[in-house]
Amino acid sequence: MEKILSKLRNLDAYPKVNEDFYSRTLSGGIITLVSSLAILLLFFSEFRLYLHTVSETKLLVDTSRGETLRINFDVTFPAIPCTLLIVDAMDISGEQHLDIKHDIIKKRINSHGDVIESRQDGIGAPKIEKPLQRHGGRLEHNETYCGSCFGAEQSDDDCCNSCEEVREAYRRKGWAMTNVDLIDQCKREGFFQSIKDEDGEGCNIHGSLEVNRVAGNFHFAPGKGFHLTNIFLDDLLAFQKDSYNISHRINGLAFGEYFPGVVNPLDGAQWIHETSNGMYQYFIKVVPTIYTDIRGRTVSSNQYSVTQHFKNLEFIHPNSYPGVFFFYDFYPIKVTFKEEHISFLHFITNICAVIGGIFTVAGIIDSFVYHGQRKIKKKMEIGKFR
């Protein structure tokens, strides 16, 4: 047993020196104080990094298919009234959503930007009694109402009981509504009057769209649009001006849910219209993103980059449609952000490296100073150093 203990004693890499042989110097004390302060400072720096989360970023090939995308928007048009402002959406698969009304709120604003009225999208007023029947007479008691489509009926049994149904019938025929003031349904619902009442006003429109996760576009435009032979037309020609001021401010535009650190480059973007009718286009590249926080909660969202372009309609196709268009497409790459703490073992390793490294460097400096002082002192004693 004694031999084993003796062998272990010989393995001691830290031989002890008797205290009687210690030589303490002023320079050694200063170096010890400075190195101790450096160790303390670096310890707290490492401890702060250990408490804070770090994000690990990875790039993956996006293999998701058949999903939908929620687009959240908040846009203000200071010179287009709410009754005329519409939202359309379509994608490369051929799916179209024209004059979208669900999940959309419109706020009428005056020239100073103050809100006049906030309402769910759509127009309408209580119907007056005895509306005009399809056969030309007025609705009588106990009679079923069947309004005229004003020549746009697809069959003899078709009825148009609201201004919206008349406009829909006209769209199916590919006709433009140039006589809205003569259509009984629109007169009764106050459509004609609402446009007159909102003249000179602006509109804030906000809400969300649920679209397929494929390339497509959505746009805001003055007038009820419909798609005919790949050209957008307008069915409110009776209310057309010589030009529309499509000045706008994008208060917010996001493709998906919010997550910490996301930057939407169009938030707060503003463009002032200085010429006649125009088409303002935003070309957006959407990057699918998955964010996982420190608690393991996952958010599937998107980031995007954007370029923009303005077309003056005076110099392009005469049937081009004025408005603000957002064309979006998807990158095939998915970005993942994952929050995590530095591991405790990594923290301990860094602390050991800090302490060992500083003491080693401090020992080298102290040895250099100590031996240097001794050599200088010896030379001074024998008179070689003057």
Angle at Cα 318 formed by Cα 310 and Cα 94, nearest 5°?
75
Model confidence at 181, pLDDT cuts 50, 70, 90, reads low
Higher-scoring residue by pLDDT: 151, 58: 58
Q: How many other CB atoms are found less than 10 A from the CB of residue 304?
A: 23
Interatomic CA distance for residues 144 and 208, integer angstroms: 37
End-to-end CA distance of the chain: 61
Model confidence at 222, pLDDT cuts 50, 70, 90, reads confident
- Whether 80 and 202 have beta carbons less than 8 Å apart is answered as yes
Which residue pairs, CB below 8 angstroms and at least 24 apart, start in 40-46? 42/354, 42/358, 43/351, 43/354, 46/347, 46/350, 46/351, 46/354
Work out the average pLDDT over 138-160: 73
- DSSP type of residue 20: G
Name 334's bridge partners.
60
Interatomic CA distance for residues 53 and 45, integer angstroms: 14
- Whether 276 and 312 have beta carbons less than 8 Å apart is answered as yes
For residue 342, report the phi and psi dihedrals to the nearest 5 degrees: -65, 140
Average pLDDT, the chain: 79
How many angstroms separate the Cα of 91 from the Cα of each of 63, 71, 73, 132, 328? 19, 13, 18, 39, 9
Residue 103 C-alpha from the chain's centroid: 18
Q: How many other CB atoms are found less than 10 A from the CB of residue 240?
A: 16
Side-chain-side CA neighbours of 302 within 13 Å: the count stands at: 24
Name 105's bridge partners.
120, 206
pLDDT score recorded for residue 367: 85
Work out the average pLDDT over 333-360: 89
CA 44, 50, 53, 55 torsion-angle sign: positive
How many angstroms separate the Cα of 176 from the Cα of each of 233, 239, 246, 371? 8, 12, 22, 100
% of the chain surpassing 70 pLDDT: 77
pLDDT score recorded for residue 19: 65
Work out the average pLDDT over 56-62: 90
pLDDT score recorded for residue 276: 59
Q: Write down the residue that tokens 């302060």 correspond to.
A: 37
Do β-strands 68-77 and 202-212 pair in parallel, antiparallel, or remain unpaired? antiparallel
Closest Cα partner for 205 from 220, 216, 224? 220
pLDDT score recorded for residue 40: 93
- Whether 111 and 200 have beta carbons less than 8 Å apart is answered as yes
Higher-scoring residue by pLDDT: 290, 381: 290
- To which H or E segment does residue 335 belong? strand 333-340
Alpha helices (runs of H) in the chain, residue ranges in sequence order: 2-10, 26-51, 163-173, 184-188, 191-197, 344-381
Which residue pairs, CB below 8 angstroms and at least 24 apart, start in 191-194? 191/83, 191/123, 191/163, 194/83, 194/123
Work out the average pLDDT over 156-160: 80
